[in-house]
């Protein structure tokens, strides 16, 4: 029976839950270049709140920031970010550096499995040459490679690592069998074997492209219905009574997946001479929504005879989605920046993310508790459960007598 020592490289939102689940069945080494992160995990706490402290403290994981310990394993899983740069081009820096680190440390016979989202071809064309160069080993002779894309949904306590069908692939039939066995041991939902690494890479990237395009459609409908003076929420509620209507909603599309992945496939398509029109149309719509919501809110302030230079506004939420502390690629910050262009004073109330992290990344220190009756306007940007529980009346107590509540998600 194949029972490898597993090393998970990258212990963030994806890697840590994976390592915890794998540790129930295998010996696991958890590696991360962030020594502070390793210290926190050794202390038994996950600041990302993806793994509960009691679960984390019971997990049999050997944490390390020492790359040499990667060599103590023979099944290495790479779970590092793959963002885009300032020009929306794929930024493979983290996955290439992870490959370099692994290449310097891995031993003969190892299997390296990538989970990071990439365009088709990255694993074989970008990562494997790095592994070969730094290790001095030969691919498919001395080491082997697989690809099994992550499908973690941050903050989702139902769709977890073990309960989502795992897509796996390998460079040889033998590698595929071993990769399927390892993941199949821990994933109760089952395994799907892709016929090639490129197919698995492509399948992952289009999962989020499909969501992006569907949300873009909802956002365009929101703009149209706003002009008509009817509630998008009411329209969608009526449309959902048909059995095959897809229940997507308008809103801000941020984070590290949905608004990033389309650019990966678009980049590769352009490289091949094809301009992906639908994919990029969806991106243009979703990228423009922060400015749209900010401008609509400003119009409402003006219509209420509130002077913009004197206006004080409270933004509710700055994470990229509700009920998670992840502030990467927040679109709420774009609303804030747009309001500041009009010299509006802006406070942020963020009860889920760490205030220090918000200040470090965006230069904004969230208020611990807003002062009642002190804001000319409030923008509900992120529907954290705490805000939903307050209800519209509970939120309005922070407004001045003539102040307005702008509910982006039409929660209320």
pLDDT at 167: 97
Nearest Cα residue to 380 out of 349, 401, 354, 358 = 349
| DSSP structure string for 13-52 | TTHHHHHHHHTTTS-EEEE-S-HHHHHHHHTT--TT-SS-
61 CB-side CA count, 13 A: 31
266-to-88, 214, 258 alpha-carbon distances in Å: 10, 17, 13
* Ordered structural domains, the chain, with CATH: 6-195 (3.40.50.720), 233-407 (3.40.50.720)
Residues 41/11, Cβ–Cβ less than 8 Å:
yes
Transcribe 123-153 into DSSP letters.
IIIIIHHHHHHHH---BTTTBEEEE------
Catalytic residue among 257, 315, 344, 399: 257
- Position 1 scores a pLDDT of 77
What are 49's two structure tokens? 């709140």
What are the tens digits of pLDDT across the range 278-304? 999 999 999 999 999 999 999 999 999
pLDDT at 61 over 80: yes
Q: pLDDT category, 159, cuts 50, 70, 90?
A: confident
Q: Among residues of the chain, what percentage have pLDDT more than 70?
A: 99
Which H/E stretch holds residue 389? helix 385-396
Residue of 112, 115, 167, 169 lying closest to 144 (CA atoms):
112
pLDDT at 161: 83
- What is the pLDDT, as a whole number, of residue 355? 92
Is 257 considered catalytic here? yes
Res 155: pLDDT: 65
Q: Is this prediction's pTM over 0.85?
A: yes
* pLDDT at res. 89: 95
Residues 6+ apart with CB under 8 A from 280: 262, 266
Residues 6+ apart with CB under 8 A from 273: none
**Which pLDDT score, from 0 to 100, does residue 259 have?**
86
How high is the pLDDT of residue 76? 98
d(CA 99, CA 106): 10
pLDDT of 158: 67
Average pLDDT over residues 385-403: 95
Structural element, H or E, at residue 57: helix 53-58
For residue 50, is pLDDT > 90? Answer: no
What's the CA gap between 48 and 61, in Å, rounded? 18
Distance CA 404, CA 347 (A): 15
Q: Is residue 262 predicted with pLDDT exceeding 80? A: yes
pLDDT at 156 over 70: no
Q: What is the mean pLDDT of residues 249-264?
A: 89
Question: Which pLDDT tens digit goes with each residue over 68-113?
Answer: 999 999 999 999 999 999 899 999 999 999 999 999 999 999 999 9
């Amino acid at each position: 029976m194949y029972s490898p020592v597993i090393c998970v490289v990258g212990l963030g939102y994806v890697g840590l839950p994976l390592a915890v689940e794998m540790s129930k069945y295998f010996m696991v080494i958890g590696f991360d270049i962030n020594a502070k992160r390793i210290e926190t995990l050794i202390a038994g706490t996950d600041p990302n709140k993806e793994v509960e402290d009691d679960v984390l403290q019971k997990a049999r994981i050997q944490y390390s920031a020492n790359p040499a310990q990667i060599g103590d394993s023979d099944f290495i899983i790479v779970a590092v970010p793959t963002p885009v740069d300032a020009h929306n081009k794929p930024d493979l820096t983290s996955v290439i550096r992870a490959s370099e680190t692994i290449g310097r440390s891995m031993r003969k016979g190892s299997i390296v499995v990538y989970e990071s989202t990439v365009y088709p071809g990255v694993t074989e064309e970008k990562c494997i040459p790095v592994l070969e160069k730094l290790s001095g080993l030969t691919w498919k002779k001395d080491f082997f490679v697989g690809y099994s894309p992550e499908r973690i949904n941050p903050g989702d306590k139902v769709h977890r690592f073990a309960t989502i069908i795992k897509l796996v692939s390998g460079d040889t039939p033998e590698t595929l069998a071993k990769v399927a066995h390892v993941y199949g041991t821990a994933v109760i939902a089952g395994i799907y074997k892709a016929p090639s690494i490129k197919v698995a890479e492509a399948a992952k990237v289009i999962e989020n492209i499909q969501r992006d395009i569907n949300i873009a459609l909802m956002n365009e409908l929101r703009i149209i219905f706003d002009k008509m003076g009817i509630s998008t929420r009411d329209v969608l509620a009526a449309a959902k009574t048909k059995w095959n209507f897809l229940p997507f909603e308008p809103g801000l599309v941020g984070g590290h997946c949905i608004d990033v992945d389309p650019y990966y496939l678009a980049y590769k398509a352009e490289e091949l001479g094809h301009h992906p029109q639908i994919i990029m149309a969806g991106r243009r719509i979703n990228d423009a929504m922060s400015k749209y919501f900010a401008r609509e809110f400003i119009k409402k302030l003006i219509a209420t005879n509130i002077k913009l230079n004197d206006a004080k506004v409270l933004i509710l939420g700055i994470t990229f989605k509700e009920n998670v502390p992840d502030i990467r690629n927040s679109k709420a910050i774009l609303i804030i920046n747009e309001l500041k262009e009009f010299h509006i004073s802006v406070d942020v109330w963020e009860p889920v993310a760490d205030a220090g992290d918000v200040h470090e990344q965006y230069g904004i220190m969230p208020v611990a508790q807003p002062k009642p009756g002190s804001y000319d306007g409030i923008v509900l940007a992120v529907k954290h459960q705490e805000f939903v529980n307050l209800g519209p009346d509970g939120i309005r107590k922070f407004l001045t007598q003539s102040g307005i509540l702008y509910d982006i998600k039409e929660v209320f």
